[in-house]
Chain A
Amino acid sequence: MGTLVTLLSGWGRYPVQSCELERPERYADLRANADSVIARGQGRSYGDSALNENGRVLLTERVNRMLDFDTEQGILRAEAGTTLAEILPVIVPKGWFLPVTPGTKFVSLGGCVAADVHGKNHHHDGSFGDHVLALEMILADGRRVTCSPEEKPELFWATVGGMGLTGIIGAVTLKLVQITSAYMKVQNRAADNLVQLFQLLQNENVQERYSVAWIDCLASGDSLGRGVAMFGHHASADHLPPSLGNPLATKPAKSRALPFDFPGWVLNSKSIGKFNDFYFKREGGKQRPFLSAYDAYFYPLDGIGHWNRMYGKHGFVQYQCLIPDAQAYEGIKALLEELSASRRASFLAVLKRLGAQGSGMLSFPLAGYTLALDLPMRDDGLLELLTRLDEIVLRYGGRVYLAKDARLTAESFRKMYPRYDEFIAVKNNVDPDNRFSSSMSRRLGIAGEAT
């Protein structure tokens, strides 16, 4: 089978590294046939977790067969390369939905498991791994094994959130959730500052299945943390206007792609400030609940292909961190103050309340608040700012999300992920020679050794 040596990057387009790509089309060709291999689905992690500088990257995009769909029980089994975008039009018309979805549907099942992704419903439903009934894996020695919360649970929970470092995820069995319509009932609430925003997320959270808040992170002083909290739940078919027709019908969404890289100056604190004012008035002004098609609600940016080009050719870093509940307000406030003082505008800033910690050893979510920032990569000053943000996160006992990360240090990583020792015990067992390794695993010093 042919391989292709090429420059590769994650969704943030930073860093860019030379990797050797292999793209199997047969299930049997999913295997570690190089000294260092990492699987890559849609390349939607932001940093270097699906990069392998001077090593092998195994593209799973063509190993994307749906193997079984039990429409009675709502159980789907599919190969790891299958994307959520492929799954939705199959399951929604049958009255089922993804139990957890990240903010884009152009991600593979394997990637969702490896990053143990969360959605706007984490406080209600946990993360992706909580709904995986079983995984079929291909291990370093070529064995195919099945693991689940009951069978080989250590391997299972090391793989959920394990960034592809325990083996190749071959197939995923997923439990879906029932819906009666393809629509969401959405309610926006504006908050003039961070105190109000926290109150909104705390109170409403209990009832609403989905919640998330957009923050204007250029606002400072008394307005620091002003934003719009957005709540939603799956609309019941009984409450839809009959004019919508079949409540479960899915319409193919129109998509347009950014055809070229924006020049670096397009996004600056002035243009982003203007946008933020506009967005705050528009979204915050929506007083009454409204209906939204699931696609527009969950995947607003999927309508613009290659939106990452907006940040110019140098790419951007998405910094996503969380602060545990106890000091969440103080921690998030400190982060926003640091950001505001730097006058580096984040085009997208999202605040989300997370529920209880799951069982994945390297999974990101735990009870607290997570803040995500998109920051254009212009100069080294950004990396210095992010290091200062790391220090704040560490001070408040938080952590940084590996699926977004491109620059955390090994030292900070160890402090943020206290279950690392458990993870590495499993890794020593199934992959002592570190055949599954990535640019990220080398940067963070995630490596097993023969015992």
Chain B
Amino acid sequence: MNNPVLILGATSAIARATAGAFAARGHAIYLAGRDMDELPRIAADLRVRHGIEVRYGTFDAEATDTHAAFMQSVIDEMQGLSGVVLAFGYLGDQIAARDFSVGAKVIASNFTGAASILSHCANYFEPLKSGFIIGISSVAGDRGRQSNYVYGAAKGALSLYLQGLRNRLFPSSVRVITVKPGFVDTAMTYGLPGLFLVASPQDIGERIARAPEKSADVLYLPWFWRYIMLIIKHIPEFIFKRLKL
């Protein structure tokens, strides 16, 4: 198959757009996720629109003990992989901060599950001395805010993990790219008040698929979020703690 790309968490709007952008470049695609109603529909759509090979299968980020076998089965079925996009994530809600049973799920999905499957991906690509790993983190991981700090902490941890992984895999010529989207027009954000500069999933997907051809290690999407977050990160804590963000 032609340079297969594995999409982990393939049913979100960003993941679907990213898969579409890779498919438009001729890559074979493996769609991994939990929703077995949606996966065959997205797979069929990619086949019809782009005439590429698409496979799909169940993947549960939180079931870390299944990850090794999952990874092996994908590699077998696709006869190797040229890249992985980690696109799953779980926002939870405000309750996550007050009720740890909800918060634990946010951490288990966004960080623990991610760290688990990424370790298998890294072990696969390292000896190949090629390939790319794209992790979709979030600008929410750049600074803790009262409105979503459990999610932010998990995504921040993922960003750190990817940073370390990039350092480890650099000698092996495996690209590790951290993507930090700002507000994107998806089911996660639809109808939320106070959003601004909202990007379309198609735009984000196109940029993500372009990332392996470019040199940036950390990609804010759209680009201006780098500067918004630069400002936010540099607000002194004694002021920041008083803000209602």
> A residues 1-33 with Cβ under 8 Å of B?
1-4, 21, 23-28
Interface status of A69 (Cβ within 8 A of chain B): yes
Please state if A90 and B187 are interface contacts (CB–CB under 8 Å): no
Residue from A1, A3, A23, A67 in contact with B41 in the complex, judged by beta carbons closer than 8 Å: A67
Whether B41 pairs with A27 at a CB distance below 8 angstroms is: yes
Interface pair B41/A25, CB less than 8 Å apart: no
- By a CB distance below 8 angstroms, the chain A residues around B42 are 65
The residues of B that contact A26 with a CB separation of less than 8 Å are 11, 35, 37-38
State which of B44-52, B140-148, B171-179 sits at the interface with chain A.
B44-52
Least CB separation from B41: chain A residue: A65
Query: Cβ of B48 and Cβ of A23 under 8 Å apart?
Result: no
Q: Is B227 an interface residue (CB 8 A)?
A: no
B186 / chain A contacts, CB cutoff of 8 Å: 25
Given A1-B190, A2-B191, residue A27 in contact with residue B38 (CB < 8 A): yes
Query: Is A4 a contact of B49 with CB atoms below 8 Å?
Result: no
Known A23-B190, A62-B13; contact A90-B48, beta-carbon cutoff 8 A: yes
Which residues from A are CB-within-8-Å of B11?
25-26
Residue of A nearest to B186 (CB): A25
Would B45 and A65 count as touching, CB distance under 8 A?
Answer: yes
Q: Is B192 an interface residue (CB 8 A)?
A: yes
Q: How many residues of B contact A (CB 8 A)?
A: 18
Question: What's the dominant secondary structure at chain A's contact region?
Answer: mixed
A90 and B49 contact, Cβ closer than 8 Å, known pairs A23-B187, A28-B37: yes
Residues of B within 8 A of A25 (CB): 11-13, 186-187
Known A-B contacts A65-B45, A66-B49; A4 and B38 likewise in contact (beta carbons under 8 Å): no
Q: Interface size class for chain A?
A: 20 to 34
Chain A 103-143 interface mask (CB, 8 Å, partner B; 1/0): 00000000000000000000000000000000000000000
Q: Once the chains bind, are B41 and A79 in contact (CB under 8 Å)?
A: yes
> Taking CB as reference atom, which chain B residue is nearest A62?
B13
Residues from 15 to 70 in B contacting A, C-beta threshold 8 Å? 35, 37-38, 41-42, 44-45, 48-49
Note all chain B residues with C-beta closer than 8 A to A86: 49
Residues of A with C-beta under 8 A to B37? 26-28
Q: Which residue of B lies closest to A3 (CB)?
A: B191
B12, B13, B44: the one contacting A65 at CB < 8 Å is B44
Is there contact, CB below 8 Å, between B48 and A69?
yes
Given contacts A23-B187, A27-B37, A62-B13, contact A2 B192 (CB under 8 A): yes
Kindly identify, within residues 65 to 112 of chain A, every residue whose CB is under 8 Å from any CB belonging to chain B. Answer: 65-69, 79, 86, 90
A84 to chain B, nearest CB (A): 14
* Nearest chain B CB to A82 CB, angstrom units: 9
Smallest Cβ-Cβ distance to A26: which chain B residue: B38
Q: Is there contact, CB below 8 Å, between A66 and B187?
A: no
Given known contacts A26-B11, A65-B44, A67-B44, A1 and B49 CB-to-CB distance under 8 angstroms: no
A68 to B43, CA, bound (A): 10
Beyond A26-B35, A27-B38, A66-B45, whether A4 also contacts B13 by CB under 8 A is: no
List residues of chain A with CB within 8 A of the CB of B41: 27, 65, 67, 79
CA distance A128 to B6 in the complex (A): 39
Residues of B within 8 A of A28 (CB): 37-38
How far is B42's CA from A444's CA once the two chains are assembled, in angstroms?
A: 39
Measured CA separation A274–B232 after assembly (Å): 57
User: Shortest beta-carbon distance, A359 to chain B, in Å?
Assistant: 29
Q: A68 to B40, alpha carbons, bound, how many Å?
A: 11
Hey, which chain B residues are within 8 Å of A66, CB to CB? 44-45, 48-49
Bound state CA distance, A70 and B37, in angstroms?
A: 22
Question: Which residues from chain B contact A1 at a C-beta distance below 8 Å?
Answer: 187, 190
Of the candidates A3, A24, A62, A65, the one having the most CB atoms from chain B within 10 angstroms of its own CB is A65
Complex Cα distance, B37 from A398, in Å, reads: 46
Complex contact B48–A68 (CB within 8 A): yes
Closest to A86 in B: B49
CA distance A28 to B35 in the complex (A): 10
Name the residue among B189, B191, B192 with the largest chain A CB count within 10 angstroms.
B191
Residue among B13, B38, B44, B192 making CB contact with A68, cutoff 8 Å: B44
A4 to B190, Cβ gap below 8 A?
Answer: yes
A136 smallest CB distance to B (angstroms): 12
Interface pair B45/A67, CB less than 8 Å apart: yes
Q: How far does the Cβ of A385 sit from chain B's closest Cβ, in whole Å?
A: 40
Q: Are B45 and A2 in contact (CB under 8 A)?
A: no
Query: Residue of A at shortest CB range from B189?
Result: A2
B183 nearest CB across to chain A (Å): 13
In the assembled complex, the Cα of A286 lies from the Cα of B44 at a distance in Å of 45
- A27 proximity list for chain B (CB < 8 A): 37-38, 41
What residues of chain A lie closer than 8 Å to B189, measured between beta carbons? 2
CA distance in complex: A67, B40 (Å): 9
- Which residues 189-218 of B sit at the A interface, judged by CB distance below 8 A? 189-192
> Which residues of B lie under 8 Å from residue A21 when comparing CB positions?
191
Query: What are the nearest 10 A-B pairs in CB distance?
Result: A2-B191, A65-B45, A4-B191, A66-B48, A2-B190, A65-B41, A69-B48, A67-B44, A25-B187, A66-B45
Interface residues of A (CB under 8 A from B): 1-4, 21, 23-28, 62, 65-69, 79, 86, 90
| 8 A-B pairs with C-beta separation under 8 A | A3-B190, A3-B191, A4-B190, A25-B11, A28-B38, A65-B45, A66-B45, A67-B48
